[in-house]
Structure formats: structure tokens, C-alpha cells
Amino acid sequence: MNTPPSGTTECVIVINCGSSSLKFAVFPVTGESVLVKGLAERLGSPEAVLKIERDGETISIQIPSATHHDALQAAVGRMSSLNPRGVGHRMVHGGEEFTGSVVIDDNVMAAVERCSSLAPLHNPANLVGVRTARELFPELPQVAVFDTAFHQTLPRKAFLYAIPYSYYEELKVRRYGFHGTSHHFVSLETARLLGKQPEQTSLITMHLGNGGSACAIQNGHSVDSTMGLTPSEGLVMGTRSGDVDPALHQFLQDQTGMRLSEITAMLNSQSGLLGISGLSNDMRTLAEAARNGHERAALAIEVFCYRLAKSVCGLVAALDTIDAFVFTGGIGENSADVRARTAAHLKILGVDLDENRNACHGRNDGGWISSDRSRVPCLVVPTNEELMIARETLRLIY
């Protein structure tokens, strides 16, 4: 590595690129607090906008019709005192090709493209982020951090669907699991809070954001996930149904004449909390509505918590022992009500929350929200996927 120009801070840029958005965060090489972060949205449209947060201030810049390249260039233009040493990219699907993070070269790009059929909405967008960063920083190493990689330790009994084996052999149809970067980060933080080594820690982690998944982690390794071939399987989510009867598609097609693509879109974007409540996919909105007597908002929350607890009970089968149940993600970190309702269904496993600790999201108790009577500790551990990607990038480039 070259010596940086004086007066600049060596840093790592983390990029999470969607089809019309680009999120970024900048971390110092020698610390873990974010220096700058930002989001460019509605790229390619006349309303494209770039928001940058630095030193507690947010600025908003209109960038009409900007491409991903324009947006990243505009953001970098405002980072004059920073000296980037590497770029880390969030990649959604690494299939069976990637069991960990990698420095990106042309072979990696080709392999990610091969996995695109498994994540047609995400992988091509992630690759746009890589190409953009390569154009702007041709001299910098770029690192790919995959949502699926942490789950490549799933045993066959957990990842195979009970369909003819040839679909796995020929098309790689299997369960992959997602949110791996978050589950991994949270498992490391939890081990630290428990005063244990990660490889001696067995957990159930619940990442509950707009999407959601739970993960069984045995001795630091993912051994099962609620998500499958795609991020649609498993828990009830903001707009995704999670598990449904595999015969549902045929039934709806026969009854309504809907096309397969329409049914898939309905299950992905009009279902989950939004579908049941008929009101919103946002847990805050639903909690408020439920308090004001909106019955289906209350029902949506009830189904969400019950299905989560039921999945957690299933995941327990993957573990020999359990050190903690861990909540994370926007809902997991902030909704005492969702945690209390979920925990109430887990009493049979000896789970008992402390009302005050839970109401404070564990912030005064080292993450702990369970009572001293609880047979298994329960914790709230905030996730930080960007930081995990920055750590992985640094690990690979130095």
C-alpha cells in the first residue's frame, strides 16, 4: 500500500447497490465509527437525490437523472479529507460458489453473474455497484461480502428440499439462507457480551427488519436458517408472506386466473404484515394502529410473533445446546411488544423476559432482556452490516 497524502484519513468505503439506489458508508481503517454515510435514491429518474450524513449534519443534493456512477462520484467529491484504501460490497447471492468474502477479480465477477439466476433482482444491481466503484477507483482493491456465505455451513439435511434430488444437482435448487452478514455480526457481538469465544457459542438469532430471518448457530457456525432458495421463505415479513403451502400457486391460478408471475409478486410485495393488516408493512404504524383499536393491525402483529416463535422452536432442533436467543434488526431492536409476544410463545423453552429490561431494549443491562429466572438468556444486539463488511474488507486487503 502507498503512503497516504498527509492530512487525510485512511478509510474503507462500503457499498450496498440496488437497482435504483446506492447506499454507502465510510469507516476509518483504524476505528469502527462511521465517518460519512449516505444514500442515493431514484437513480435514473428526474427525482434522483443524494443524501449525505457527516458530523451529525445531513445534506440533500438533487442529482436529476444521475446514474449510479454519477451518484458515487458526487458523494466521493465531498470526501476530500478521506483517503479510501479499499471498497467493500454487499452481495446478495453467492450460491454455492462463495463460502466467505473474497477480493473481487474478473473470475469473481463471472461467478456472481452465474448466481444471478438465483437472485435476479439483486445480483445484477450489486454488480453495477462493483463496476461503478472499479471505474472510480481502479487502483483500489474491491471486496465482495455475501449474504449467503455465512450459511454455507448448513448441513445437507438442513439445506435440501424434499423434491427430486436432480433439481439440486442440475439447478442448485436448495435452501441458501440470507442476512448472513447480520447474523454473523450479531453472533460475534453476542459471544462478546456472553464472555465466550464465538466458536463456543450456540445461538438462535432473529433478524427482524423489513425482511426477516432467524438462524440457528452452533459453535459459531450457521446450521439452519428460515430463508431458503430465495429470501421469500420463512418468517412473516413486511410485505412477504414467508412460508405458504406449495399448492397455493396452483390453487390461486385455478380460482382467479392469475399468472404465476402475478402470484409471486403478490406473495413478495402485497403480503406479510401489509397483506394481513391491509394497512401498512411498517411495524411502527401497525403498533400505533393496534393501540387505537385497528383489529387487523393487531392480528398482523399476532401472526408475525406466533410464526416467529414457531420457526424458532423448529430451529432449536438444529442445536445441541443454546446460550441465548437474540433479537436484532429494526423491529427486533426497537419493539418491546414484538419481543414480549414472541417470548410468551417460547415459555415451554424456559424463556422469561424481564419487563423493565425489555422496555429499555436491554440498553442498561448489556443487551440482556431476560429475567434472572429465564432458563435461556434473551438479548437485544443491534446489527451493523456495514461495519461487518468494512471489517471483512480490511481483513482481506491488509
Give contact residues for ligand ADP (rule: CB under 6 A): 209-211, 238, 282-284, 287, 329-331, 334-335
148 close to 156: Cβ distance less than 8 angstroms: no
Instruction: Please name the residue ranges forming H helices in the chain.
Output: 68-76, 106-114, 123-136, 156-159, 166-171, 180-194, 248-256, 260-269, 272-277, 283-291, 295-316, 329-334, 336-344, 355-359, 385-397
- Taking the complex as a whole, the smallest distance from the CB of residue 294 to ligand ADP amounts, in Å, to 15
Check residue 116 and report its DSSP letter.
G
User: Is 147 one of the annotated active-site residues of the chain?
Assistant: yes
- Taking the complex as a whole, the smallest distance from the CB of residue 286 to ligand ADP amounts, in Å, to 8
Instruction: Spell out the SS3 assignment of 263-280.
Output: HHHHHHHCCHHHHHHCCC
**Cα–Cα distance measured from residue 220 to residue 82, given in angstroms and rounded to the nearest whole number:** 35
17 has which bridge partners?
22
Helix (H, G, I), strand (E, B) or coil at 87: strand
- Taking the complex as a whole, the smallest distance from the CB of residue 337 to ligand ADP amounts, in Å, to 8
**Cα–Cα distance measured from residue 31 to residue 54, given in angstroms and rounded to the nearest whole number:** 16
Q: Which is nearer to ligand ADP, 147 or 354 (CB)?
A: 147
Buried b (16+ CB within 10 A) or exposed e, 309-327: bebbeebbebbeebbbbbb
Which residues lie below 8 Å from residue 293, measured CB to CB, with a gap of 6+? none
Which residue of the chain is nearest ligand ADP when measured via CB? 330
C-alpha cell at 154: 448448513
Q: Which is nearer to ligand ADP, 291 or 395 (CB)?
A: 291
Q: Which is nearer to ligand ADP, 86 or 329 (CB)?
A: 329
C-alpha cell at 295: 383489529
208 has which bridge partners?
212
- Taking the complex as a whole, the smallest distance from the CB of residue 352 to ligand ADP amounts, in Å, to 22
- Taking the complex as a whole, the smallest distance from the CB of residue 212 to ligand ADP amounts, in Å, to 8
Q: Which is nearer to ligand ADP, 154 or 283 (CB)?
A: 283
Q: Which is nearer to ligand ADP, 259 or 284 (CB)?
A: 284
* Helix axes of 385-397 and 180-194: crossing angle, nearest 10 degrees: 90
Q: Catalytic one among 147, 224, 323, 354?
A: 147
- Taking the complex as a whole, the smallest distance from the CB of residue 363 to ligand ADP amounts, in Å, to 13
Q: Which is nearer to ligand ADP, 283 or 318 (CB)?
A: 283
Q: Which is nearer to ligand ADP, 211 or 220 (CB)?
A: 211
Which residues lie below 8 Å from residue 194, measured CB to CB, with a gap of 6+? 201, 323, 324, 377
C-alpha dihedral, 249 to 251 to 253 to 257, nearest 10°? -150
Which residues lie below 8 Å from residue 170, measured CB to CB, with a gap of 6+? none
Q: Which is nearer to ligand ADP, 90 or 175 (CB)?
A: 90
**What amino acid positions are annotated as catalytic residues?**
147
